[in-house]
Structure 1
Amino acid sequence: MATPTFDERRGRLEIYFDRTARDAWAQLTSDAPVSGIRATVRAGRDRMRDILLSWLPLDMAGRRLLDAGCGTGALSLAAARRGARVVAVDIADGLVGIARQRLPATIAGAVDFRCGDMLDPAIGPVDHAVAMDSLIHYETPDIVAALARLAPRVRHSIVFTVAPSTPALMLMHRLGRVFPRGNRAPAIVPVKVDGLAARVAAEPALAGWRLGRTERVTSGFYMSHALELVRA
């Protein structure tokens, strides 16, 4: 089961991305010009998406992929072009709507965009799962619990990102607690990657899994750390 803190924070994220950030997120994930700060975030996200895709099979024909927290769908489209059958899920209906609008007719049958919970068992079994920047708002225990809940339905690998605990990110996190948040996004939660890895290794529900590749991307205001879980 999801923890109470996971559920509470997920609800805040749903409200934010549906009501406050939809237009800004649509612009950030498009080819439209953006400011210098947002340009660094876009470049970082593009680099991270390329890394996660590189950890998946180049030929995904016949493979089913869960894009957990798909946003406006860029990773889903890239995986579908490799032949994957993609179930793309996001809590924000507005972002899912944008993703559907951007879905080319040539691969429309390969991607199933859904608004809902990425941990919903009704999604069924998948070969691979990707959670790009969809767990960065959660504490380490919630991240591990989410992975443990997802893992039984994944045949081969889970690739995901967290917000690494770096001095720069910790400073931004502390400032976010001091100043009024207004319409800004719910806080990104920095986690110690080594501590997360240790908790993953000790989690009984993940006993059949091992940590594989890991890589960090820093691009201006964008900082994210990718990890790979593979069947042992």
Structure 2
Amino acid sequence: MKINTDDKTVVKDYFNAIGFDRWQNIYGNGKVNKVQEDIRFGHQQTINTVLEWLKLDGNLSGLIICDAGCGVGSLSIPLAKEGAIVSASDISEKMVTEAKRKAENILGKTNNINFYVQDLEKLKGSFHTIICLDVLIHYPTDNAAKMINHLASLTNCRIILSFAPKTFYLTVLKKIGEFFPGPSKTTRAYQHSQDNIVQTLKQNGFKIQRKGMTSTKFYYSQIIEAIKE
């Protein structure tokens, strides 16, 4: 499977350079502007929703989980704190380095979380649960479907995804944003049809278990949990 090199290179270079400082602040406790503060709040809501779903099942301790596109560990660290065995990867070496630092500060030395630098399409292993949050926004529809196919092949149990939904309002908002470019702003942003995502999951033998939506002024994320039929 081959992901569009241009998109992947843009994402990798961005999060290893000027984008790292921006998103490290947003995901952490750094000083941010009002828009970034809103995005921080929205992203944390998505994290909280997924954690709530997993905790409701009552079997999080010892569960083998892959956090694909882990960023600075916003989800991986609380999962490990709950006793899950976490394999956390990201395309950005700087993001992974920061995630390791945060994990050591919060958890100390632990054997139940492993961070490493890896492209999504090159992930290997077998996991109970695959989680991929706020990553599909960086890739166009065809490549997103290929990534979902690959992630689905790594689990016989469950996959949880979040993505920017394709709606008229968000399309207009995105167009407006393109009039105000900035080098530290963002990578290419792709919206995805919920129907297309659901169809791809069904083609891989999964059925929808739960859905959620995070919606703030500047952050929109559709969350889907699917389990193997």
Report the TM-score when normalising by structure 1: 0.88
Listed one character per residue, the Cα deviations across residues 105-151 of structure 1 (whole Å, up to 9, x for unaligned) are 44632210101113324x31111011010111222222221111121
Work out the number of aligned pairs and report it.
225
Aligned to 1:90: 90
Instruction: Tell me, yes or no, if the aligned pair for 1:140 and 1:196 is still in contact at 8 Å.
Output: no
* SS, match of residue 121 in structure 2: coil
1:115 is matched with 117
Per the alignment, in what secondary structure is the counterpart of residue 109 of structure 1? coil
Deviation (angstroms), 1:183? 4.1
For structure 1, list consecutive stretches of 5 or more residues without a partner in the other structure: none
Whichever residue aligns with residue 89 of structure 1, its letter is: S
- Whether the 8 Å CA contact 1:81–1:107 is kept in 2: the answer is no
- Report what 2:165 is aligned to: 164
**Cα pair distance change 1:85/1:141, threshold 3 Å:** same
Task: Find out whether 1:100 has 2:97 as its counterpart.
Answer: no
Q: CA contact under 8 A between 2:22 and 2:184: conserved in structure 1?
A: no
Q: Cα deviations across residues 29-67 of structure 1 (Å, max 9, x unaligned)? A: 112342221111111011101111222244322221110
Candidates 212, 218, 221, aligned match of 1:221 = 218
Check whether the contact 2:7–2:139 (CA below 8 A) recurs between aligned residues: yes
1:182 is displaced (CA, Å) by 3.8
> 1:24 aligns to what?
22
TM-fit CA distance, 1:9 = 1.1
Corresponding residue for 2:190? 189
Deviates more, 1:216-225 or 1:59-68: 59-68
Match of 2:39 in 1: 41
Question: In structure 2, the residue corresponding to 1:215 is in which secondary structure?
Answer: strand
Mean Cα deviation higher: 184-193 or 174-183: 174-183
Percent identity between matched residues is: 24
8 A Cα contact 1:53 1:79, kept in partner: yes
Which residue does 1:65 correspond to in 2?
65
- TM-aligned CA deviation for residue 93 of structure 1: 0.6
TM-score normalised by structure 2 residue count: 0.89
Query: Tell me, which stretches of 5 or more residues in structure 2 are unaligned?
Result: none
